[in-house]
Amino acid sequence: MYDFEQNLDIAFKGKREMFEIQERLLKKHLEYCLTNSPYYKKLFRRFPFDIDNFTMDMLKDITFTDKTQFVRNNDEFLSVGNDEIVDLALSSGTTGDPAKIMYSERDLQRLAYNEKKSFIACGISKQDRVLLTCTMDRCFVAGLAYFMGIRAVGGTAIRNGLKSMESHLELLCKLKPTVIVGVPSFLYRMGKYIHENSDTKLMNSVKKLVCIGEPIRNNDFALSGIGLKLKQMWGADLYSTYASSEAVSTFCECSEEKGGHLHPDLAVLEIVDESGNNLGAGKVGEIVITPLGCTGMPIIRFKTGDISFIDDTPCPCGRNSVRLGPILGRKQQMLKINGTTLYPQTIYSVLDEIPEITEYYIEVSEKEKLSDKVKIFLSLENESVLIQKIENVLKSKLRVSIPLCLKNESGMKEKIFNNNSRKPQKFFDNRNSR
């Protein structure tokens, strides 16, 4: 019934052949949307196009779908009967209202194939035991996706999810996982807990960390501060992966660790500027994804709100697909400080490289004369460290001055790790509007 497996090695084909396959699958996807999606039927009545003569270059002429539209018109994206929906997930839109994401059986098969390709790329095999520290409940799709991918590879899944540090330590001892999938900041806390409470030899079984939800590299693909800490702490290979629930597509690093490979038979990737114009390789802009082969809630040119760039240089792994760079920030989190544009992730990368800092977060409030008012709150391992020293490091790396405020570590953790979240909240935006 499913024809995904025949395209498993498409990224190794020549660029021309790969492009032709992707263009054919894109036309098939557009035709499906035009025939089955109430939302796109209505849209294309106003903005028609000729499917028979459609080429990849024409994709840029189709209007975007953003998260606000997806939330506002949620049910109109459903393109199959309710009896064909086998899984429901929730994703927050830009308004904060949850949107339903409804998956057909084919969508779940596609999801498994997507993750299988990603895990194979970073060297995971049927010999591996993979500890999942991401939840499969709460209507989240990530844990389910990684579980299905591990099973598709033939590996063993250890589904511990949102459990205590003690339980993860016990599983390291008893089950000896070779791979851990998790949020980088949580994997750091987990490693720190083991160092403080047990024998670090328990970590020796872990050969790979697949990092989700947060970037571990700078824009030159070198490990960032948190990446370097994980490498030193675990002694394992690190792989970054990026995904979107709505776009049901994953970009995972291969063994070369130089950006997340596009699976050309599963998605079309674009980077666009503020005006919606396509940008060339290496240019920073917003990630736009058109997932191919989805049937439950297919979408076209989905604006993720995430900022990155495309690398189209040859990858030593032999794949000819383009790679997605590290996530540099969220579009809505962009900061303007005295004429300089920054994203919080850039500030995080600098703070992560300062060993004396134990926790930190950023607060931004209303603009003052075209400049956002930004403060960094932090706790220090040794409070004798001069704040002036940290301010100087930030200024030299960021080219702007940002006020620092000291707080005790327990108060910081209470603010950052609310609701037992695996992913800390480090950015608090108090601006009323952008």
Q: Cα–Cα distance between 140 and 422 in angstroms, integer? A: 13
Q: What is the pLDDT of residue 433?
A: 52
Q: What is the assigned CATH class of domain 334-429?
A: alpha beta
Q: State the average pLDDT over residues 243-253.
A: 91
Rg of the chain taking only CA atoms, in angstroms = 22
Q: What is the pLDDT of residue 116?
A: 94
CA 30 to chain centre: 25
State the pLDDT confidence band at 94, using cuts at 50, 70 and 90.
very low
Q: What is the pLDDT of residue 231?
A: 96
C-alpha torsion sign, points 293, 136, 130, 200:
positive
Say whether pLDDT at 68 is over 80: yes
Question: What are the counts of helices (DSSP H) followed by strands (DSSP E) for the chain?
Answer: 11, 21
Domain-wise residue ranges, the chain: 1-329, 334-429
First and final C-alpha spacing in the chain:
47
State the pLDDT confidence band at 226, using cuts at 50, 70 and 90.
very high
Please give the mean pLDDT across all residues of the chain: 91
Classify residue 370 by burial, with Cβ atoms within 10 Å: 0-12, 13-18, 19+: exposed
Please tell me whether residue 379 adopts helix, strand or coil conformation. Answer: strand
Asked whether the domain spanning 334-429 has the same topology as the one spanning 1-329, the reply is no
Lowest-confidence segment of 82-86, 164-168, 287-291, 302-306 by average pLDDT: 164-168
pTM, two decimal places? 0.90
Instruction: Give the total residue count for the chain.
Output: 434
Which CATH number does 1-329 carry? 3.40.50.12780
